[in-house]
């Protein structure tokens, strides 16, 4: 199983919110959908390396947060939950994307 297949089948399917593809094949999700994705990432132990946001109104790039700047492991859910909470409180009407890595052990299940 490939990482992209695993993410599409197990993580990116959300009950709320929208998914938007941008030109760089990056998937952006609404605030509600991204919160669901973070819950699933924590459940599966998926690494999240960075989170970035983009305005739905103007299309301009928002803020970006990386796990290294916070000196946390990519699998530590406290960093990405805190970063997402901070981003959504400072930016209204934004959509969110992240860089993920699924472990080989999880892919081989």
Alpha helices in the chain (DSSP H): 3-6, 31-44, 77-90, 104-107
pLDDT in tens, 26-77: 888 988 999 999 999 999 999 999 999 988 777 778 888 989 888 889 888 9
What strands, in cross-sheet order, belong to the sheet with 61-66?
A: 19-21, 27-29, 94-101, 47-55, 61-66
pTM of the model: 0.86
Alpha helices in 45-103 (DSSP H): 77-90
**What does the domain layout of the chain look like in residue ranges?**
3-103
Cα separation, 90 vs 101, in Å, equals 27
- Confidence (pLDDT) at 91: 81
Q: Which residues are within 8 A (CB) of 81 and not within 5 positions of it... i.e. 6 or more apart? A: 38, 42
């Amino acid at each position: 199983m490939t990482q992209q297949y695993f993410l599409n089948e197990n993580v990116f399917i959300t009950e709320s919110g929208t998914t938007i593809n941008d030109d760089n094949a990056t998937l952006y999700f609404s605030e509600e959908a991204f919160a669901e994705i973070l819950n699933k990432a924590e459940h599966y132990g998926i690494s999240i390396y960075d989170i970035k946001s983009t305005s739905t109104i103007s299309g301009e790039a928002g803020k970006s947060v990386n796990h290294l700047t916070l000196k946390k492991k990519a699998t530590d859910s406290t960093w990405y939950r805190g970063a997402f909470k901070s981003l959504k409180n400072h930016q209204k009407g934004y959509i969110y994307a992240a860089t993920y890595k699924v472990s080989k052990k999880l892919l081989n299940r």
